[in-house]
Structure 1
Amino acid sequence: MYTELSYDVDGHVGVITLRRPEARNALTFTTYRELEEAVRNAAVRCLIITGADPAFCSGDDVKQIMAGGEGARPAVTNLAPRLTPAADALLHTDIPIIAAVNGAAIGWGMELSLMADIRVASEKARFGELFIKRGLCCDVPGIGRLAQLVGRETAAELLFTGDIIDAARALQIRLVSRVVPHEQLMPAATELARKIASNPPLAIRKLKNGLRRALDPDWKELGSWVSTSLAELFKTEDHREGVRSFLEKREPHFAGK
């Protein structure tokens, strides 16, 4: 059914695994579409999202989405302002989501982890909001969720610098709920998911809905702002330089235009 991820169910727990390990689970338009579909069609009491080792998700596939590959920039800049469909599915589902972060969660990979209700990290996990290095702004979770978790000042530092932090630092700033040995990651996430799934599902869904009402911004409005901002930034020389420098494996030189 899926080509770039798998969806498995064990009892009341579903597991979505990104499966492009050769590309460190970088996201293509196909991955985004399959992720949205898997979340919207899930009929379980708890979801775990993880990646095939060695990474959780290294963000967008730069060559396809940012660097002029087939269907790349025009597909992003010509759309009407909107919330990313995969983000819409993740942010509005009433199913509790656990991110089992087994390695690098970079760019939209970090955004994906932020859309989970709970993050369990392997000691090999790494986190980074790398959008600034490509001359772009982050998606809605980096703006609407990160500061809730780590505080405004730490969120600003992560967003403005694009620094990558390790699992120990992520635990220290409360970005994740726990860090476990790598081989214990899925057992720990599964145990937690089963504990959640054993509780009354209607009450769990009401609680998640209540948390969203109390703490979350208007995701659709924020998504419209983000997509408008990205459409502008994709046209800048700084964005082109960010992509070129990445592909050429050199330090970027930004001109502010």
Structure 2
Amino acid sequence: TLLNELDRSMGRYRDEVNLKTAIMSFINAVLNAGAGEDNLEFRLHLRYEFLMLGIQPVIDKLREHENATLDRHLDFFEMVRNEDDLELAKRFDLIHIDTKSASQMFELIKKRLKHTDAYPYLLSILQHCLQMPYKRNGGNFQQWQLLDRILQQIVLQDERGDDPDIAPLENFNVKNIIKMLVNENEVKQWRDQAEKFRKDHAELMSKLEKKERECETKTQEKDEMMKTLNKMKDKLQKESLELRQARDQMNDLVSQLNEYSV
């Protein structure tokens, strides 16, 4: 492979340096031209693949050749790498992100998504990762490899569904899937809104029925009060009549007494 040739010793200094210089020139061109020219995500992705394959110790070994031309290509690789790492770190308001530290990367993602609609999905991803198959002897790693490939496609695919990766997953169009999820979320939002309207309507109907019952109660109370008042009026009128009759009788008796006195 490319890295094997970069690391292999050929014995003849000039031939070895020329080959390794050509390989480093090719690697830099692949990283920084074409898809990588204006695509930070692609450069980070492809460079990480080289790093996972072990290019860093090979570069350190190539420094021992002390060849100016080769060193320029090595320096260019390191320079662009540092610039890209800094650009990525700026997205999180940092100077450096240790991509070898799972805990730091997790904390950065958690902090960024903590109070967003995406946070529940991060928790869901982690929960399902806990359920992924795991064996200490390294078996069943293909599921993790598939998850890694899917995430790579999500990061790398452009708006047209084109992927600069030379071996993308077949029939995996991120744009179409996101569009489907958007439609699915819109349907869910309409359902939630309809359910909210239903609950609001039920609540209003309940309040209206309560008010009607209160009005009926008040009407009944008013009717009862009117009946009581009318009874009191009738009683008062009756007592007033009886009082007048008593006065008349008393006046008659007084008149009779006066006549007897004379």
Give the shorter-chain TM-score range: under 0.3
| TM-score normalized by the length of structure 1 | 0.24
Task: Give 1 or 2: higher helix fraction.
Answer: 2
User: Which has the higher relative contact order, 1 or 2, with Cα contacts under 8 A spaced 6 or more apart?
Assistant: 1
Structure with higher Rg: it is 2
Q: Whose strand proportion is higher, 1 or 2?
A: 1
TM-score by length of 2: 0.24
